[in-house]
């Protein structure tokens, strides 16, 4: 059992919710759609498209992006079937969609907002994607959108002041070698577990489509705008500790279970795991580049994605105060944000060996 709290999004459909503030993550699905269609057309074996076709989304959150992701996949599969067989997919194929996330994810909001007129049956699959969550050979295409950067726990030593890998920052900035190694080791071990589990659950020759963001080789997290915002979040909690709102110890003993890897590190992990072939690793031009450079939008979007996890450690009121400071810092240090090095948004297409 991991002692790290689960990193869920802010649920519901309210003003702070992920549901209302996840258009950045959705934009990648749209920007990569053409490349994804090409990959399905070229890499998915026609033999796999028969009476029942299952799509599984890992780390689906409470919507609405997951509906876009799975619909785009179903459209591409139907298109391929129509073109290559001349038959109407609706006559011959039934689709099933498996929505996976932590048990604490807001599945109620997800299922209450399932799109009208959808052409698929749905089921919830609760549990951590670092483990097996489905029977063997139970789906044909898996998708992960912006959830391929998590670790299952905070790496060893990171929150221990006496350890050489103690991290005084709240994330892996990339500047401390010992901290970077601890995070990369943990990420590498966890991602291999994730790939092992999916390889068991996928049908032979099934595909995994992974959308997300990574670092260009040699770039450090705190040199990118996302890393800079994470620095602002850490600085804001430190300010609150200085003001006596929270104890400094609470800030020093906090770190995040996520690691934004370099492209080369991701390739290496997949290669070492050996269960999948990398069919494509596309550099996608995101319409909002690294993130929209607006201090208010940055604070709101990061709060929707990070707020629930931070509130579990610091309390909801302190978390809200911190994000007010994040917006101020983003305004004051706008030039730093503007001059950030670019990150990279990707679509990785994996085929099970
Ligand atoms: C940034 S959100 C992305 C959500 C959605 N895929 C999208 O595109 O909007 C990351 C999601 O991954 C989920 N997640 C993180 N770690 C997970 C794990 N170990 N197992 C299952 N879900 C996980 C979180 O709960 C969250 O819903």
Q: Is 7 in the pocket of ligand 1 (CB under 6 A)?
A: yes
Residue 286 has pLDDT above 80, yes or no: no
Residue 129 placed within a domain = yes
Please, which residues bridge with residue 97 across strands? 55, 122
Q: Which helix (H) or strand (E) holds 227?
A: helix 225-242
The predicted structure's pLDDT at residue 223:
96
Q: Is the CB of 130 under 6 A from ligand 1?
A: yes
- Residue 284's φ and ψ, nearest 5 degrees, are -100, 135
Residue-number span of the structural domain to which 177 is assigned: 23-352
C-alpha closest to that of 326 among 286, 288, 296, 292: 296
Distance CA 32, CA 34 (A): 6
Q: Is 19 in the pocket of ligand 1 (CB under 6 A)?
A: no
12 belongs to a structural domain: no
Asked whether the beta carbons of 127 and 102 are under 8 A apart, the reply is yes
pLDDT digits (tens, 9 = 90+) for 151-189: 999 998 998 888 989 998 999 999 999 999 999 999 999
Tokens encoding 229: 């915002």
Q: Is residue 15 part of a domain?
A: no
Decide if 290 contacts 226 (C-beta within 8 A). Answer: yes
Q: Residue 338 phi/psi, 5° resolution?
A: -65, -30
Strand-pair category, 120-126 with 139-145: unpaired
Task: pLDDT band for 351, please (50, 70, 90 cuts).
Answer: very high
CATH label of the domain that carries residue 331: 3.40.50.150
Is 1 inside any structural domain?
no
Assigned domain for 10 exists: no
Name the nearest CA neighbour of 62 among 1, 23, 29, 17. Answer: 17
Nearest residue CA, atom 19 of ligand 1?
128
- Express each pLDDT in 110-122 by its tens digit: 999 999 999 999 9
Q: Residues 178-200, buried b or exposed e (16+ Cβ, 10 A)?
A: ebbebbbebbbebbbbbbbbbbe
Using CA atoms, how far apart are residues 108 and 118, in angstroms rounded to an integer?
18
Kindly tell me if the per-residue pLDDT of 1 is higher than 50. no
- Is residue 179 domain-resident? yes
Residue 146 is predicted with a pLDDT of 93
CA-152 nearest atom, ligand 1: 19
Taking the C-alpha atoms of residue 54 and residue 96, their distance in angstroms, rounded to an integer, is 5
User: How many angstroms separate the CA atoms of 259 and 255, rounded?
Assistant: 11
Task: State residue 27's pLDDT score.
Answer: 85
Is the CB of residue 349 below 6 angstroms from any atom belonging to ligand 1? no
Task: Name the residue at shortest CA distance from atom 1 of ligand 1.
Answer: 146
Q: Is 14 part of a structural domain of the chain?
A: no
pLDDT at site 291: 65
Task: Kindly state the average pLDDT of the residues 203-228.
Answer: 96
Tally of domains in the chain: 1
Mean pLDDT score of the chain, rounded to an integer? 93
Q: Exposed, middle or buried, 244 (CB in 10 Å: 0-12/13-18/19+)? A: exposed
What is the pLDDT at residue 289?
60
Per residue in 10-33, pLDDT (tens digit) is 888 888 787 877 777 888 999 999
Pocket test for ligand 1, best of 10, 61, 109 (most atoms within 8 A of CB): 61
pLDDT at 283 over 90: yes
CB of 8 within 6 A of ligand 1: the answer is yes
- Note the pLDDT tens digit of each residue in 189-215: 999 999 999 999 999 999 999 999 999
Write down the pLDDT at residue 160.
Answer: 87
Domain presence at residue 3: no
Q: For helices 295-314 and 225-242, give the axis angle rounded to 10 degrees.
A: 50
Ligand 1 lined by 101 (C-beta under 6 Å): yes
Say yes or no: CB of residue 147 within 6 Å of ligand 1.
yes
CA-to-CA dists, residue 191 to 180, 184, 187, 195, 341, angstroms? 16, 10, 6, 6, 26
d(CA 61, ligand 1 centre) in Å: 5
Each residue's pLDDT tens digit, 251-269: 998 999 999 999 999 999 9
How many Å apart are CA 351 and CA 331, to the nearest integer? Answer: 44
């Amino acid at each position: 059992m991991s002692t790290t709290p689960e990193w869920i999004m802010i649920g519901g459909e309210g003003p702070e919710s992920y549901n209302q503030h996840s258009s950045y993550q959705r934009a990648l699905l749209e920007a990569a759609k053409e490349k994804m269609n090409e990959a399905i057309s070229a890499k998915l074996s026609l033999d796999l498209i028969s009476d029942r076709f299952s799509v599984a989304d890992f780390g689906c959150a409470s919507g609405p992006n997951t509906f876009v992701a799975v619909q785009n996949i179903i459209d591409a599969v139907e298109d391929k079937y129509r073109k290559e067989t001349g038959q109407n997919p609706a006559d011959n194929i039934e689709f099933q969609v498996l929505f996976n996330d932590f048990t604490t994810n807001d599945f109620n909001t997800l299922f209450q907002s399932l799109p009208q007129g959808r052409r698929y049956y749905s089921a919830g699959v609760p549990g951590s994607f670092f483990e097996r969550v489905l029977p063997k050979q139970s789906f044909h295409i898996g998708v992960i959108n912006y959830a391929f950067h998590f670790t299952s726990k905070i790496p060893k030593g990171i929150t221990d002041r006496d350890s050489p890998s103690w991290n005084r920052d709240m994330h892996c900035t990339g500047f401390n070698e010992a901290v970077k190694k601890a995070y990369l080791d943990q990420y590498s071990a966890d991602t291999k577990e994730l790939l092992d589990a999916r390889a068991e659950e996928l049908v032979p020759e099934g595909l995994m489509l992974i959308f997300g963001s990574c670092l260009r080789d040699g770039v450090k997290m705190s040199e990118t705008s996302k890393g800079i915002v994470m620095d602002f979040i850490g600085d804001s909690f430190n300010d609150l500790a200085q003001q006596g709102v929270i104890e400094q110890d609470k800030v020093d003993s906090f770190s995040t279970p996520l690691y934004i890897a370099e492209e080369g590190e991701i390739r290496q992990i997949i290669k070492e795991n050996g269960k999948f072939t990398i069919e494509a690793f596309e550099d996608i031009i995101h319409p909002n580049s690294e993130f929209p450079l607006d201090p208010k939008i940055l604070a709101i979007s990061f709060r929707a994605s990070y707020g629930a996890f931070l509130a579990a450690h610091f309390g909801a009121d302190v978390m809200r105060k911190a994000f007010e400071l994040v917006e101020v810092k983003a305004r004051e240090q706008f030039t730093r944000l503007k001059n950030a090095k670019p990150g990279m948004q990707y679509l990785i297409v994996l085929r099970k060996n």
